[in-house]
Structure 1
Amino acid sequence: MTLKSLIAKPFSITALVISFALLISGVLDLWLGSSIAVLMILQLAVVVIALQCSPGWAYLSAVFEAVCFNFFLTNPRFSLQMLNVDDIVNLCVFLIVAIITSKLAEYYRQQQNQLKQAQLRNSILLSVSHDLRTPLATIIGTLSTLEEYMDKLSKAEKAELFDSAIVESNRLYQYIENLLQATKLQHGAVVLKKDEHSLVHIIHLVIERFSKQTDRIILDAQSDLPSVQMSSSLIQQAIFNVIDNALRYSPYDKNVNINIYRSSEHLIVDIKDEGVGITKEQSEHIFDLFYSASSPKRNDSGTGLGLAVSKGIISAHQGTMQAVPVDSGSLIRIQLPMVNGGQHLVL
């Protein structure tokens, strides 16, 4: 992430909160003439900034607000001199309380982060204990059968067992990839190496990975689509998860339709299935980590990781991903900016 983007957001929050606090303080000073009320408003602003930004921004805002209080709201006005002892004492107390509350806010944020990490570790542990065991058990059982009955099995039976082991191996690999990316996303450690790629070509590569279900995937792409700056491997993973999810929740005899087109500033990918659809309540949670809808699906249903990981990857590219209401089935819409923006990191 660039230094500019790291500074821009907290600076904007700090500037907005301070401006609003100073405006309210000015009104209170004219209305009540109470320095205590003014300092309470300014103190509240410091707390808000401390909760939203790093402690450094809170300390900086406290000093800036103290100078503004001295210059604009104490006698003599528009001067850095302070003649009233009460104002001097109040201002000193304000600075002390601002530092203490900033420290408390930092501690609170650290505790919240630790709680989230603990919840993530518990969720991952529960997921791993279940979702790794199933494909591993199938692979072990298949290979054990091959080892024991190799001479008694027909060529077609051997091929079927090998295919089953390969399918479960790919399923296991995809789960581990999603698990790794989910962990990185939760820790803010996903980094991008962007190059110029054709989104249509990337989706063709993804479709090829569904070797036995390519006939169920219908691709319709607008002509003359521009290339996009993106991390090819991560975008492939994001789109693979969405298509895989659509195939899992759709009947075997129904297709998954992919439509690629452009708007004024974005390339848009619509992935639509003909399954049971997504309710309004589900649409608010399907991108949550480890969320799994209760809709009817096959025994090889997902782990609740795929869509969460996809949304995280798309967001890292400054794109958006959402469930769009449709009359039948489900529609997941991905939008990627055509301009060269987003994170500029190395993977």
Structure 2
Amino acid sequence: MTKLFSWEHVRTSSAVLLGVLLCSFAIDSMINSPIAVLLLLQLGIVMVAFKCSPAFSYLTACLGAICFNYFFTAPRYSFHMLNQDDILNLLVFLIVALVTSQFAVRYRQQQTLIDQVRLRNQILLSVSHDLRTPLAGIIGNLSTFKEYQALLTESEKDELLNSATAESHRLHQYIENLLQATKMVHGSVRLGKEYGSLASILEGLATKVNANGLRMALSVDALDNIAINRELIEQALFNVIDNALTYSVKDWPITVKASHHQTCIRIDIFNTGITPSAEDRIHMFDLFYSRRQNISTDKGTGLGLSVAKGIITAHGGSIECVKVDAGCLMRIELPKDNAAEVRT
């Protein structure tokens, strides 16, 4: 649902009203038509109604009516209105603005329902396809362990159990991403920030990655005392690092560098694998978008980067794929002064 109040809505409605008023002055100076001015103002109400909450469309309608009365009706530059046609036209304008706002609310509600249905369908497809692979791996490893336990060596037993454990972690990550994606679509992500160490999160992820036989070169400054939701940020960073590992050249490490930059903390994650196309850079953060369609691999649901972007954006930060000559550079920026909503 659209928020009742936000500074983005203030900026949007103000910009639309200012633009419509400038056009109205131009039209008035050329043809002196109050009807044309009202139609332009009505167009502005429609634009605000579809982009902002109903309260902003009502407020914009009232401001538009006041401006029409003050600037475009006789006597000019006063709040008196002598022409009955102008009064009638203004009343019709307000009624249409009210109806338009209600239609816009209904339209957004329908779009939300459509998005939710689309998400449910995509989740079902994801569950039936992508989650089947780690489940099959877990079942296969444990079944083999149970059936041939007496014949297996200790190293073979450890290998089967380690493989089942790795697939379990993979399955858990898929489910977490599905959960966060569903929450973001429903607008129910809740942050609960605490002061923590970003460096310790990255070091923990590096230990986890390197323990799995992969290589991650880490370079971090002292990144303590930043207000974050530790679990969500860890999930977001893991998703981006996991994506980098998926596309990295085999046996080549990915590099992660975190440092202070003016008002933000910047984290650069680079791999020497496939260079994303311009289209990939635009869409790679879209829900269920995946570059893997032309790559022979069974990993991924197309959720990881979308979830990462949602979490980072909720922290007031940003993530982008920076164009480089070769490889892929993902840049995350988190604001230093993000102490709002920190638990006390």
TM-score with structure 2 setting the length: 0.92
Q: Which moved more, 1:264-273 or 1:320-329?
A: 320-329
Question: Which residue number corresponds to residue 78 of structure 1?
Answer: 77
Question: Which residue number corresponds to residue 251 of structure 1?
Answer: 249
Aligned with 1:334: secondary structure? strand
1:344 maps to a residue whose letter is E
1:151-230 map, 5 Å: 151-210=150-209, 212-213=211-212, 216-222=215-221, 224-225=222-223, 227-230=225-228
Q: Which moved more, 1:67-76 or 1:123-132?
A: 67-76
Mapped to 2, the partners of 1:118 and 1:139 lie a distance apart of 31
1:1-347 map, 5 Å: 6-210=5-209, 212-213=211-212, 216-222=215-221, 224-225=222-223, 227-294=225-292, 299-340=297-338, 344=341
1:52 maps to a residue whose letter is K
Shift of 1:345: 7.7
Shift of 1:101: 1.6
Mapped to 2, the partners of 1:296 and 1:167 lie a distance apart of 25
Shift of 1:162: 0.6
Aligned with 2:292: secondary structure? coil
Mapped to 2, the partners of 1:332 and 1:309 lie a distance apart of 14
Equivalent pairs: percent with the same residue?
A: 48
Deviations 1:63-99 (A, max 9, x none): 2211221222211223333221211121121112111
Shift of 1:225: 4.4
RMSD over equivalenced CA pairs, Å: 2.1
Mapped to 2, the partners of 1:328 and 1:99 lie a distance apart of 54
Mapped to 1, the partners of 2:305 and 2:81 lie a distance apart of 59
Cα 1:259/1:138, change in 2 over 3 Å: same
Cα 1:326/1:295, change in 2 over 3 Å: farther
2:79 maps to a residue whose letter is L
Mapped to 1, the partners of 2:11 and 2:191 lie a distance apart of 25
Shift of 1:313: 0.9
2:256 maps to a residue whose letter is I
Shift of 1:271: 0.8
Mapped to 2, the partners of 1:328 and 1:87 lie a distance apart of 64
Shift of 1:180: 0.6
Preserved CA contact (<8 Å) 1:71 1:77: yes
Cα 1:20/1:177, change in 2 over 3 Å: same
Cα 1:26/1:344, change in 2 over 3 Å: same
Cα 1:265/1:32, change in 2 over 3 Å: same
Deviations 1:217-274 (A, max 9, x none): 111124x445321111111111111111111222331111111122111111111112
Aligned with 1:234: secondary structure? helix
How many residues align structurally?
Answer: 341
Mapped to 1, the partners of 2:227 and 2:295 lie a distance apart of 35
Mapped to 2, the partners of 1:6 and 1:228 lie a distance apart of 27
Preserved CA contact (<8 Å) 1:290 1:303: yes
Preserved CA contact (<8 Å) 2:316 2:338: no
